[in-house]
A and B are shown apart, each in its own frame.
Chain A
Amino acid sequence: MTTNTTEPVVLDGVAKSYGPVRAVAGIDLAVAAGGVVALLGPNGAGKSTTIAMLLGLTEPDSGRAALFGGPPERAVRAGRVGAMPQDGRLIGGVSVRELVAFARGAYARAGRDVPPLDELLETARLTGVAGRRADRLSGGQAQRVRFALAVAGNPDLLVLDEPSAGLDAEARRDLWAAVRGCAARGATVLFSTHYLAEADEFADRIVVVDRGRVVADGTSTAIKARVPARTVSLDLGDTPPAALDALPGVVGGEVRGGRAELHTTDSDATVRALADAGLLRGLEVRGASLEEAFLTLTADGGAR
């Protein structure tokens, strides 16, 4: 692993257990400046714990997290980091405008070149609710406030934990437009998601995490070539299951009650080859769930 000290994010074998539960089993990750990186994985994969360690909110049991070549706390205190943790409700007694102004002021005092308050509220689509009490907002509005707090200091590194959770389609579009704006200004963005489509659309690089480990890491195209998007199932008859593993596109599979389920990255090629071999019996092709896809990646031995 590289030790370039100016890299925004370096995780060096970080691991964390909560009692008997191993949340993160040892993750190495280096993020270069200026990219958009997605941490993709099912719920419970360890994404939030990884992000908490990266931000210095949780101390790793072993390994080390560094932001911009130093301890995470130092980068946070210098105002270089903006973050949106996964859960968190807003406090009472203050208006949206007061709360965002407070965060903006904190970054300004740390020496950051902060955007004007009205521009910030506009970017997060909060102008209409700026006078409302922060604890009396809908889930989507509160999520936008939390986003505004994260970008209030024009951060060099923006970390978003499941940012689109609970947002409707329009709010999602606005959020990603704002994230792209940050990336266009040169910020490095790291976000977590459990939607392959979201990672595919917004990230330059996808790091797939499952059961606390990195199981794949690459460009969207490279990941999609390895993540089986479809499952092809058919009656096995007397065909030896091993014969099916070599079919084009197939990256894994199992046999259930006389039927073979093949996880494939290219269902067209797989079906064509099955037809050529005369094996089409009770064929069914369906979209694979992300959980199935992750299982396949993990079963491969976690190659990178």
Chain B
Amino acid sequence: MILAYTRLEVTRLLRDGGYLAMCLVSPLMMYLVFTNLDIAGGDGRDAAVYAMVGMAGFGAVGAVMNGGVAIAEDKPLGWIAQLRLLPIRPVEVVVGRTVCAVVASAPPIAAVCLAGGLVDGVGLSPARWVAVVLLLWLGVTPLAVLSTGLGYTLPPRLAQLAGMAFYLGLSMLGGLWFPIAKFPGWLADVARATPVNRYGDLAWAVADGGAPAASTVAVLAGWAALFTVFATYACRRAVRRG
């Protein structure tokens, strides 16, 4: 049933023009502009790899945050209530929505990585390409869980604001736009603790020829646990309140 429900929600999402414009086109354009203006500085090719991972991650974060807004917008329609009148368990709906948000993050990741490889000549071994793309894709799951929790908690307009704040705020603070090495020291320390920076670091580490640090995985796992507790609480509360 999760599969059928996820398919329905993914279908809805892919037919939503706003989603495509916001999550696909804007990170792609920003990537091309950033790399060609050489904002990130340093060696052009390294900068292209850095920006590719950053902008692919930016698009992915946008896509999952959009998932929460979509949930919030479904509430006044009565769709969430309607689903509770069908033989589907609430947990299947919550998991389905989260999976849908993760699926939705695939197109921007694919688009930016294709642009990186084809336009800017980012060269990685096939195994590293696969690892970078998979880490960008599956690593965004904790943020998808956060977004689902926000979607169940907040009314549509607040969900939109919160989604935007997390999307832009965390992306900038997390170094997806500019390397955090250019931040003042204290801010860089804060940035390194954010889930978005650790998420980006998974793929940056692999693109640099290494592997994600254990500390990166640990911080991200901590955030994932926190977001899961929040989303579980938010969804239970929403279900009880009706």
Interface segment, one of B84-92, B211-219, B225-233: B84-92
| Nearest chain A residue, comparing its CB with the CB of B89 | A77
> Are A76's CB and B85's CB within 8 A?
yes
> Are A76's CB and B4's CB within 8 A?
no
> Are B86's CB and A88's CB within 8 A?
no
> Are A106's CB and B84's CB within 8 A?
no
A88 CB, min distance to chain B CBs, angstroms: 3
> Are A94's CB and B85's CB within 8 A?
no
A123 and B16 CA atoms in complex are apart in Å by 30
Interface segment, one of B31-39, B54-62, B72-80, B178-186: B72-80
Q: How many residues of B contact A (CB 8 A)?
A: 23
Which A residues are in CB contact (< 8 Å) with B89? 77
Which A residues are in CB contact (< 8 Å) with B82? 85, 88, 146, 149
A93 and B198 CA atoms in complex are apart in Å by 34
Scan A68-107; emit 1 where CB is below 8 A from any B CB, else 0: 0000000011110111010111111110001000110111
> Are B4's CB and A106's CB within 8 A?
yes
Which B residues are in CB contact (< 8 Å) with A106? 1, 4-5, 86-88
Is A283's beta carbon under 8 Å from chain B? no
Which B residues are in CB contact (< 8 Å) with A77? 87-89
> Are A76's CB and B240's CB within 8 A?
no
A122 and B240 CA atoms in complex are apart in Å by 36
Which A residues are in CB contact (< 8 Å) with B242? 52, 57-59
Is B8's beta carbon under 8 Å from chain A? yes
A166 and B4 CA atoms in complex are apart in Å by 31
Q: Which of B8, B11, B74, B79 has the most CB of A within 10 A?
A: B8
Q: Which of B5, B16, B74, B78 has the most CB of A within 10 A?
A: B78
Which A residues are in CB contact (< 8 Å) with B78? 85, 87-89
> Are B77's CB and A76's CB within 8 A?
no
Is A109's beta carbon under 8 Å from chain B? yes
Which B residues are in CB contact (< 8 Å) with A105? 4
A23 CB, min distance to chain B CBs, angstroms: 12
Overall SS of chain A's interface: loop
A143 and B13 CA atoms in complex are apart in Å by 24
| Nearest chain B residue, comparing its CB with the CB of A56 | B84
> Are B87's CB and A79's CB within 8 A?
yes
> Are A93's CB and B87's CB within 8 A?
no
A94 CB, min distance to chain B CBs, angstroms: 6
A132 CB, min distance to chain B CBs, angstroms: 13
Overall SS of chain B's interface: helix
Which B residues are in CB contact (< 8 Å) with A103? 86
Is B221's beta carbon under 8 Å from chain A? no
Which A residues are in CB contact (< 8 Å) with B79? 88, 91
A52 and B78 CA atoms in complex are apart in Å by 13
Chain A interface size, as a band, is 35 or more
A255 and B113 CA atoms in complex are apart in Å by 83
Scan A148-175; emit 1 where CB is below 8 A from any B CB, else 0: 0110010000000000000000000000
Which B residues are in CB contact (< 8 Å) with A89? 77-78
> Are A88's CB and B81's CB within 8 A?
yes
A208 and B12 CA atoms in complex are apart in Å by 42
> Are A57's CB and B84's CB within 8 A?
yes
> Are A93's CB and B16's CB within 8 A?
yes
Which B residues are in CB contact (< 8 Å) with A81? 85
| Nearest chain B residue, comparing its CB with the CB of A53 | B242
| Nearest chain A residue, comparing its CB with the CB of B82 | A88
A191 CB, min distance to chain B CBs, angstroms: 15
Is A120's beta carbon under 8 Å from chain B? no
Which A residues are in CB contact (< 8 Å) with B84? 56-57, 76
Is A55's beta carbon under 8 Å from chain B? yes
Query: Known contacts A87-B78, A149-B86; can you find 7 more A-B pairs with CB under 8 A?
Result: A57-B85, A58-B242, A92-B12, A93-B11, A102-B5, A106-B4, A107-B86
Q: Which residues of A contact B (CB under 8 A)?
A: 52, 55-59, 76-79, 81-83, 85, 87-94, 98, 102-103, 105-107, 109-110, 112, 146, 149-150, 153
Listed A/B pairs (23) with beta-carbon separation below 8 Å: A52-B242, A57-B242, A59-B240, A76-B84, A76-B85, A76-B87, A81-B85, A82-B85, A83-B85, A87-B78, A88-B78, A89-B77, A90-B77, A92-B16, A93-B15, A94-B8, A98-B11, A106-B4, A106-B88, A107-B86, A109-B4, A146-B82, A149-B86
